[in-house]
């Protein structure tokens, strides 16, 4: 088996410089994260609040933790304590809870809105129509401690490149619509997070500037 270091160097070399690599370390031990850290990786993705809370304290403080899993409102406090970017905001209730907790601890937190375009119902997120409808200047203005810096999405889990490409185009189109519309006054709205191990090159070709890669760096996850 190749090492995490070698994998990371190879993956990194395959990405254009403008694309941020989030190394998805969920279900992998702190030692694997340390190995990636030792060759310069700083952005790591976790999908469970408890796992993040148990790993973060033992690892270097300059790691930027990305929360990418479904987040329940009762776990927001623990995630806000260590997350650099919460990528998986899939309801207004969650957005308001994040804002409240960030305010309570006196920090401003960055979030991405999760947009659902994939064929599977199991994936969460706002539909493109919902997001355009709900993201009003009033809502944005009511958030005092949360910055919406982009959107995150996943393509369908299928073997059909045309379908995957169409999903990425749909995400890109939501991103462009918001950037040219309600988010135009906010230049920090600049992140389009899409692409995983198996589809990241296609995602980049369709406009992604942040990819979330687990398997290609850390190997298969053991559940
Ligand atoms: C697990 C996960 C990834 C990484 O998937 P790989 O196929 O292992 O690269 C990316 N994004 C999200 C939201 C995930 O949950």
**One digit per residue, pLDDT tens: the chain, 223 residues?**
689 999 999 999 999 999 999 999 999 999 999 999 999 999 999 999 999 999 999 999 999 999 999 999 999 999 999 999 999 999 999 999 999 999 999 999 999 999 999 888 777 899 999 999 999 999 999 999 999 999 999 999 999 999 999 999 999 999 999 999 999 999 999 999 999 999 999 999 999 999 999 999 999 987 6
Q: How far from 111 is each of 63, 118, 204, CA to CA, in Å? A: 17, 21, 21
Whether residue 27 has its Cβ less than 6 Å from ligand 1? no
d(CA 80, CA 145): 11
Coil, helix or strand at residue 28: coil
> Using an 8 Å Cβ cutoff, are 55 and 79 in contact?
no
Whose structure tokens read 């006196």? 106
Residue with tokens 């999903």: 167
The pLDDT score that the predictor gives to residue 2 is 83
pTM here? 0.97
* pLDDT in the model for residue 1: 62
pLDDT at site 223: 63
DSSP structure class, residue 123: S
Distance of CA 92 to the CA centre of its chain: 17
Ligand 1 site, residue 68, Cβ cutoff 6 A:
yes
Enumerate residues 6+ apart whose C-beta is below 8 A from 183.
135, 140, 148, 189
Q: What is the pLDDT of residue 163?
A: 96
**101 Cα: distance to centroid of ligand 1 (angstroms):** 26
Q: Which of 65, 212, 216, 217 to mutate to test the pocket of ligand 1 (most atoms within 8 A of CB)?
A: 212
At 123 the pLDDT is 74
> Atom 13 (ligand 1): residue with closest C-alpha?
68
The pLDDT value recorded for residue 120 is 83
Cα(21) to ligand 1 centroid in Å equals: 12
For residue 87 and ligand 1, the question of a CB distance below 6 A is answered with: no
**Helices assigned H by DSSP within the chain:** 4-13, 30-38, 49-55, 76-82, 92-104, 128-134, 137-141, 161-180, 200-205, 215-218
Q: Which one of 28, 45, 217 would you pick to mutate in the ligand 1 pocket, going by the greatest count of ligand atoms within 8 A of its CB?
A: 45
């Amino acid at each position: 088996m190749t090492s995490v270091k070698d994998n990371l160097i190879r993956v990194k070399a395959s990405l254009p410089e403008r694309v941020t690599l989030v190394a998805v370390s969920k279900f992998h031990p702190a030692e694997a994260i340390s190995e990636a850290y030792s060759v310069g990786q700083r952005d790591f993705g976790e999908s469970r609040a408890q796992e993040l809370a148990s790993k973060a304290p033992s690892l270097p403080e300059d790691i930027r933790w990305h929360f990418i899993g479904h987040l329940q409102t009762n776990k927001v406090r623990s995630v806000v304590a260590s997350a650099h970017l919460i990528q998986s905001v899939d309801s207004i209730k969650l957005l308001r809870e994040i804002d409240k907790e960030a305010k309570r601890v006196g920090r401003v937190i960055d979030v991405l809105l999760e947009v659902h375009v994939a064929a599977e119902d199991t994936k969460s997120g706002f539909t493109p129509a919902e997001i355009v409808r709900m993201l009003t200047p009033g809502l944005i203005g009511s958030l005092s401690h949360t910055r919406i810096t982009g959107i995150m999405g996943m393509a369908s889990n299928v073997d059909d490149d045309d379908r995957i490409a169409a999903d990425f185009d749909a995400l890109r189109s939501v991103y462009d619509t918001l950037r040219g519309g309600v988010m135009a006054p906010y230049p920090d709205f600049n992140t389009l997070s899409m692409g995983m191990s198996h589809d990241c090159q296609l995602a980049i070709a369709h406009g992604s500037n942040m990819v979330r890669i687990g398997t290609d760096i850390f190997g298969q996850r053991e559940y």
